[in-house]
A and B are shown apart, each in its own frame.
Chain A
């Protein structure tokens, strides 16, 4: 596919912030559910929604570079 040059990109900092926030939400919700402050299913619901956000934003934050010309795995 052709890359759209004018695409707005999520910066690494934004991705890092999103990963951090969703991680905190996940940990808080599961801890609260574990200690019985909120219902188990409510905690699970929050984790189920926040965990995918955490995974995706973490992986987006991990990416090597936002610039072109860096293909670390081309060739073997």
Chain B
């Protein structure tokens, strides 16, 4: 498998998805919105700009965190396409959280710091994540993505048979999409949150990493809950999933930080009740 081609393709598609996301949100709010290739323009614009490291920053951390973002998601993409362990991908999801903290903390800027603090707060979203992973293992008996895909070929798609788990995963992915109601780390009152001080080439690199992230998360959801499909179908299914999220993002205000956490804890309680229910009912229906 040409891993490099897949990564580059995923970056392009991810950037395009971000653009479509913005366009849809704008149209729902009856604004014209930017063109869908706006995110490419962003990356180009940031890379043409001057780049330096702020004087107050912790230099090594400031620079190293950007390649870390790209590297972890590129690794997650490889694991996804080779049908490796689901645990690795969601390990990467949590590692992404660490890079978010690092982004905000490294610059010394108060806005970045606030973004990092909110990012630590929103780490409660990993609890529904763990609940849904345990739920998937509970239902399918394996965490290898290839096994989960094979299970769905035999037993029907998990989106229908294990809806609460899919719901929990949906909330997790929603909390990482731009303009999400859970996106407290980049709320407008703290400028760009933890990305504030990363400008120029660093910001362009971050956009590339985040594009990879969006693509991987959407593709993981589709693969986990709908099953194996040809590549073009995967892209279309991811796009439809993204569009549902665009509607939510366009129509909901951003939650206040602790309310976002509380709602995510509510989701885990639903998943736990569901798992207790199927445990008592004796396995899957």
- Direct contact between A and B in the complex (CB less than 8 angstroms)? yes
- A interface list, Cβ under 8 A from B: 1-4, 7, 9, 26-27, 29-31, 33-34, 40-41, 43-45, 47-49, 51-53, 55-56, 58-60, 62-66, 70, 72-73
CB distance from A56 to the nearest CB of B (A): 5
Inside 8 A of A2's CB, which chain B residues have their CB?
54-55
Known: A30-B3, A59-B201. Contact between A52 and B71, CB under 8 A? Answer: yes
Number of cross-chain contacts by CB at 8 Å: 106
Contact of A51 among B71, B107, B109 (CB under 8 A): B71
Most buried by B among A43, A51, A66, A73: A51
Could you name 19 residue pairs across A and B whose Cβ atoms are closer than 8 Å?
A: A3-B52, A4-B55, A7-B52, A29-B4, A30-B5, A31-B2, A44-B3, A47-B4, A48-B74, A51-B70, A52-B67, A55-B67, A55-B204, A59-B51, A59-B201, A59-B204, A64-B49, A65-B50, A70-B50
Most interface-central of A30, A64, A66 (chain B CB within 10 A): A30
Asked if A1 and B75 make an inter-chain contact with CB atoms under 8 angstroms apart, the answer reads: no
Give Cα distance in the complex from A33 to B4, angstroms: 10
Query: Which B residue sits closest to A34, measured CB to CB?
Result: B2
Do the beta carbons of B3 and A43 come within 8 Å of each other? Answer: yes
> Could you say which residues of chain A place their CB within 8 Å of the CB of B55?
1-4
Q: With an 8 A cutoff between CB atoms, is B208 at the interface?
A: yes
Tell me which residues across on chain B come within 8 A of A48, comparing CB atoms.
71, 74-75, 78
Shortest CB–CB separation between residue A43 and chain B, in angstroms? 6
Chain A residue contacts of B54, Cβ below 8 A: 1-2
Q: Are B2 and A44 in contact (CB under 8 A)?
A: no
Per a CB cutoff under 8 Å, which of B70, B197, B205 touches A1?
B197
Interface residues of B (CB under 8 A from A): 1-5, 7, 43-57, 66-71, 74-75, 78, 82, 107, 109, 197, 200-202, 204-205, 208-209
Which residues does chain B contribute within 8 Å of A51, judged by CB atoms?
A: 4, 7, 70-71, 74
CA distance A52 to B40 in the complex (A): 17
Q: Which of A1, A2, A64 has the most CB of B within 10 A?
A: A1
Chain B residues with CB under 8 Å of A58's CB are 47
Q: Which of B2, B3, B68 has the largest count of A CB atoms less than 10 A from its CB?
A: B3
A1-B54, A40-B82 known; A52 and B3 CB under 8 Å?
no
Name 10 extra pairs, CB < 8 A, besides A4-B53, A31-B2, A47-B74. Answer: A1-B56, A1-B107, A3-B55, A51-B4, A52-B68, A52-B205, A53-B67, A55-B70, A60-B201, A73-B49
> A30-B2, A47-B74, A52-B66 known; A60 and B51 CB under 8 Å?
yes
- How close is A13's CB to chain B, nearest CB, in angstroms? 16
Closest to B49 in A: A63
Kindly list chain B residues whose C-beta atoms are within 8 Å of the C-beta of A45: 75
Q: How far is the CA of A3 from the CA of B49 in the complex (A)?
A: 15
| Interchain nearest-CB distance for B12 vs A (Å) | 13
Max chain B C-beta neighbours (<10 A), residue from A41, A62, A66: A62
Contact call A63/B50, Cβ cutoff below 8 A: yes
B2 neighbours in A (Cβ, 8 Å): 30-31, 34
The interface residues of chain B lying within 8 Å CB-to-CB of A30 are 2-5
